[in-house]
C-alpha cells in the first residue's frame, strides 16, 4: 500500500497534473478513519462523478456501435459493462489493488467486498481523470480498457442475467417457459434463507438458494443452465 502512484501512472500511460486528485481516487473511507489527521479526502465524491462520466462514454459508444439494437438491449449491454464485477476486473488488470489506501481491516477483505471497493476506485479514478484532463482523455482511457470487453459480453450473452438466459434457452431448445417454486425457507424475518426449484413443465431441473426469493431464483437458473449444458 503506497502513496506513490508513479508506477501506476507509468502503467496506464497517464501522468496527472494534480497528484492530490489521483491520491484521493485511491483513498477508501476506511483509511481516513485510521488516519484522521492526514488532511485527505476519501474517493466517494469522485466515484459519484466518475460513474456518470463512464455511463455517458459507454452509452455514446454503444449507441454508435449498435445502430440496429433497441433501448432494452443497449441498456443491458451497458449494465454488463459498468457493473461491479466487470469494473473490478478492469481495475485488477491495471494493478489498482496494490495502490488502494484502505484500513487494516479492509486490507484483509477479499471476494465481493473487495470487488466493490475496486469498482468504486476505478469509477473514482475516471472522475479524477475527467477533472484533471477533460472528457476526451477520459474517453481514450475508457476506450482502451473497457470497450474491448463489449464483443465478448455480447457474443457470450453474459449481459443476460441467469434467469433471462435460462428462459431464452428453454424457449429456444424445448419450447417451454421455466417456472419457479419456493421449496424451503428458514430463519427469522430479518435473516431469511430461501431455496427455490426451477421447472421445465413437470421436470424439476435444479435448485438454488439465497437471502431473497429473487436471489434464489437467479441461483436456481444458474444451476439449471449448468445442468442442461446451456451456459
By annotation, the residues acting in catalysis are: 51, 123
3-state secondary structure of 181: strand
Tell me the H-state helices in the chain: 6-12, 19-25, 29-34, 44-65, 71-82, 84-93, 104-107, 111-133, 135-145, 150-155, 162-173, 213-228
Contacts of 158 (CB under 8 A, 6+ apart): 80, 152
As a whole number of angstroms, the distance between CA 117 and CA 190 comes to 26
Amino acid at each position: 500500500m503506497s502513496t506513490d502512484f508513479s508506477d501506476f501512472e507509468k502503467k496506464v500511460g497517464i501522468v496527472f497534473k494534480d497528484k492530490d486528485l489521483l491520491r484521493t481516487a485511491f483513498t477508501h473511507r476506511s483509511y481516513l478513519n485510521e488516519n484522521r489527521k492526514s488532511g485527505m479526502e476519501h474517493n466517494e465524491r469522485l466515484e459519484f462523478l466518475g460513474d456518470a462520466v463512464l455511463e455517458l462514454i459507454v452509452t455514446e459508444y454503444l449507441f454508435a456501435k449498435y445502430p440496429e439494437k433497441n433501448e432494452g438491449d443497449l441498456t443491458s449491454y451497458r449494465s454488463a459493462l459498468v457493473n461491479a464485477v466487470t469494473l473490478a476486473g478492469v481495475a485488477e488488470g491495471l494493478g489498482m489493488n496494490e495502490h488502494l489506501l484502505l484500513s487494516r481491516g479492509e486490507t484483509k477483505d477479499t471476494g465481493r467486498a473487495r470487488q466493490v471497493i475496486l469498482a468504486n476506485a476505478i469509477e473514482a479514478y475516471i472522475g479524477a481523470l475527467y477533472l484533471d484532463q477533460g472528457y476526451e482523455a477520459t474517453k481514450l482511457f475508457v476506450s482502451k480498457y473497457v470497450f474491448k470487453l463489449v464483443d465478448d459480453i455480447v457474443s457470450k450473452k453474459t449481459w443476460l442475467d441467469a434467469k433471462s438466459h435460462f428462459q431464452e434457452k428453454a424457449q429456444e431448445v424445448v419450447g417451454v417457459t421455466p417456472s419457479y417454486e419456493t421449496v424451503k425457507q428458514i430463519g427469522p424475518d430479518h435473516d431469511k434463507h430461501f431455496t427455490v426449484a426451477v421447472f421445465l413443465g413437470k421436470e424439476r431441473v435444479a435448485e438454488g438458494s439465497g437471502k431473497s426469493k429473487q436471489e434464489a431464483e437467479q441461483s436456481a437458473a444458474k444451476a439449471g443452465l449448468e445442468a442442461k449444458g446451456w451456459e
